[in-house]
Amino acid sequence: MKKIGKYLLTTSLLGLAVLGLVACSTTKGQSGNANGVKVGILQYMEHDSLTAAREGFEAEMADNGYKEGEKLTLDYQNAQGDQANLQTISEQLASNNDLILAIATPAAQSLATASTDTPVLFTAVTDPLSADLVESIKKPGGLLTGTSDQTPIDKQVQLLGQAVPNAKIVGILYNTSERNSEVQVETAQPLLEKAGYEVVLKGISNTNEVQDAVTSLMKDVDAVFIPTDNTVASTMTMIGELSVSNKVPVIGGSTDMVDEGGLLTYGTNYEALGRQTAKMALKILEGAEPAEMAVEYPETVSLHVNEEMAKKLGIDTSKLIVKD
């Protein structure tokens, strides 16, 4: 990997001459070890799934000898869902690190335009191809590769039918400006219609619109499907409260979304996904080229039920079965 090699070579040539400068560094995680690796992290916004992916990444790196402050310097930045912040942060991270982790599609897209020679790993990205992050899944062909959080929506539709057998109308709530959400809606809508449901789409553009959108939607539907949408996921606690008051269950895209207010999912464990991404990072640090590393899909996908929510909604989930 060119950038890491250049960094290590410079360190070895300068030796003791730069030791004083390194000791004075105030970079996050720096502890005076000039032989460490610098990793930047750009998280699109704050919500449990994305945070779990980051924490899983950091934990796996530490388990493999890259503990922050020793062999690893981390520069963590959160754009707080603000598109205007992404480009500035991306340029900063691309120029100051040996490897960058992009968490969520908007973060990865921003870094793709900012990085010229710094490898970028992404995670919590549903469809890297439609997001124009890679040339192909098997051979990304550039500086970017990583892990997709794509979940089997057909299994989620199947479980919806078991949990809410009398449902006839299903609403889909999503952010119309998130490509990862659009991809899932394009998959979910025909699957729901094939299963016999009438589908009502409800699009939002920011978190301020979620409450009114959900309140309106739940008046007309028997259940709500929410993909792994970053904007909506950050408001799941509120959605859970509306779910209970309206007696309308929510099928969430991820386990974290279900924990925050959904009924159930057959979805991705984001902490495990972060660890999976870190294993790819370790390969890159050992010399692997991102262009040749296939995008990976979640290794840990499972049925996840919020039993407390099920009890509040009066839904029996004890006999749910995921069929092949």
φ, ψ dihedrals at 135, nearest 5°: -80, -35
Give me the number of domains the chain comprises.
2
101 three-state secondary structure: strand
Residue range 213-218: mean pLDDT, rounded: 98
* Mean per-residue pLDDT over the chain, rounded: 89
Determine the pLDDT at residue 180.
87
Length of the chain (residues): 324
Residues 138 and 273 grouped into a single domain: yes
Based on the fold, state whether residues 71 and 200 are members of the same structural domain: no
- Please tell me whether residues 12 and 140 are part of one structural domain: yes
- Regarding pTM above 0.95, the answer is no
**Domain co-membership, 50 together with 189:** no
Residues 14 and 161 occupy one common structural domain: no
Shared-domain flag, residues 138 and 25? yes
DSSP code of residue 254 = B
242 falls within a domain = yes
Place 179 in a pLDDT band, splitting at 50, 70 and 90: confident
CA–CA distances in Å: residue 254 to residues 32, 146, 165, 258:
39, 18, 22, 7
**168 and 35 belong to one structural domain:** no
For 122-159, the pLDDT digits (tens) are: 999 999 999 999 999 999 999 999 999 998 999 999 99
The three-state secondary structure class of 319 is: coil
On whether both 123 and 189 belong to a single domain, the answer is: no
Q: Domain span at residue 210?
A: 153-268+303-313
CATH number, domain of 242, equals: 3.40.50.2300
- Same domain? 258 vs 215: yes
Same domain for 77 and 53: yes
β-strand 99-103 against 120-125: which pairing, if any? parallel
Instruction: Note whether 1 and 118 are within 8 A (CB).
Output: no
Q: Is residue 71 part of a domain?
A: yes
- The residue type at 190: P
- Residue written as token pair 């410079």: 10
- Position 324 pLDDT exceeds 90: no
Q: What is the pLDDT of residues 25-53, one digit of tens each?
A: 333 333 334 568 999 999 999 989 999 99
Q: Where are any strands of DSSP class E within the chain?
A: 37-43, 72-78, 99-103, 120-125, 144-148, 169-175, 198-204, 223-225, 250-251, 264-268, 301-305
In angstroms, rounded to a whole number, what is the distance separating the alpha carbons of residues 174 and 189?
12
According to DSSP, residue 143 is labeled: S
Cβ atoms of 71 and 35 closer than 8 Å? yes
- Mean pLDDT of the region 279-301: 96
pLDDT at 28: 36
Per the CB < 8 A criterion, the answer to whether 242 and 215 are in contact is yes
Decide if 323 is inside a domain.
no
| Residue 322 within any structural domain of the chain | no
Residue 319 forms part of a structural domain: no
Q: Is residue 289 part of a domain?
A: yes
What would the mean pLDDT of 154-168 be, rounded to a whole number? Answer: 97
Same domain, 280 and 184: no
Same domain assignment for residues 136 and 273: yes
Residue 245 lies in a domain: yes
Using CB atoms within 10 Å of the CB of residue 320, give its burial: 0 to 12 exposed, 13 to 18 middle, 19+ buried: middle
Residue 321 placed within a domain: no
**Is the separation of the CB atoms in 79 and 44 below 8 Å?**
yes
Give yes or no for residue 7 having a pLDDT over 50.
no
